[in-house]
A and B are shown apart, each in its own frame.
Chain A
C-alpha cells in the first residue's frame, strides 16, 4: 500500500498569515499515463470532505486562489497564501495512483 505522511499534524496560524502542509508518499504518484494523482481535501468542522486540489495543482471550481498545490514524485505541498477564518478544519492528502486509495493522517488547521 502507498503510505501518505502529512506534516505537521497540527497547524496554528494567525489570520492573514500563510500556511503550508507537506504530504509525502512512500511511492511515486506518477501513473503510467503520465499524470500524478495527488489530491487535497478540506473537511470543515461538522462537514463532509470537499476536494480542493486534484492532480497536484489543479484547483476545483469555487476554491479560492489563495489555495495552491505543488510538488512532484513523492513530495507535495498545499499552501494557503493568507489564512482566513473559514479555512479552519482538517486537510487531507490522498493518492489515487493505485488500490487501495490512501489518505494522509490529516492536518488540523486552527486560528491562533
Chain B
C-alpha cells in the first residue's frame, strides 16, 4: 500500500524558513517523480513543485521560484521542500504527492504551515 507521510510543518514568522519532509513507503521511491501541492485555508489546490527520479529536473510554480527548493534523497527514501522568505500567502496545508507523467496518483495527509507573527 502506497503511503506518503509529511512532517515539518508548524508556525513560522514572516521572512522565516521551514523544511518539510515526506517519507514514502509501499513503492519504489527512486523510480518515481514526486511533487508538493498546497491548499490555503478554505481554498483550492495549487501545485507547488515537482522533481524527477534522480533530482536532475525540477519544476516550480512561479510564486515560489527562487524561494522554495524541492529535493530528494533516494538513499534515505525522503522528499523535501525547503521554504525560505515565507509570507502569509504561503500559509497552507502542504501535501506530498506521487507524480506520474500527466497525473498525481497518491497524496499524503498533509502538514500545515502557518506564517504569522
Interface readout for A1-45 with B: 1 if CB under 8 Å, 0 if not?
A: 000000000000000000000000000000100010101010100
Q: Is A78 an interface residue (CB 8 A)?
A: no
Query: A49 and B107 in contact (CB under 8 A), knowing A101-B47, A102-B47, A103-B46?
Result: yes
Q: For the complex, give the distance between the alpha carbons of A102 and B104 in Å.
A: 12
CA distance A100 to B105 in the complex (A): 17
Q: A99-B59, A100-B61 are in contact. Are A39 and B45 (CB under 8 A)?
A: no
Q: Which residues of B lie under 8 Å from residue A54 when comparing CB positions?
A: 102-103, 105
| A102 to chain B: closest residue by CB | B47
Query: Taking CB as reference atom, which chain A residue is nearest B109?
Result: A48
Q: Which size class do B's interface residues fall under?
A: 20 to 34
* Size band of the interface chain A makes with B: 20 to 34
Closest B-chain residue to A90, C-beta based?
Answer: B44
9 contacts between A and B (CB under 8 A): A39-B103, A41-B45, A43-B45, A54-B102, A92-B45, A96-B104, A99-B50, A99-B59, A100-B60
- Interface pairs A-B: 10 shortest CB-CB: A37-B102, A96-B102, A101-B47, A48-B107, A103-B45, A99-B59, A106-B44, A54-B103, A100-B61, A39-B103
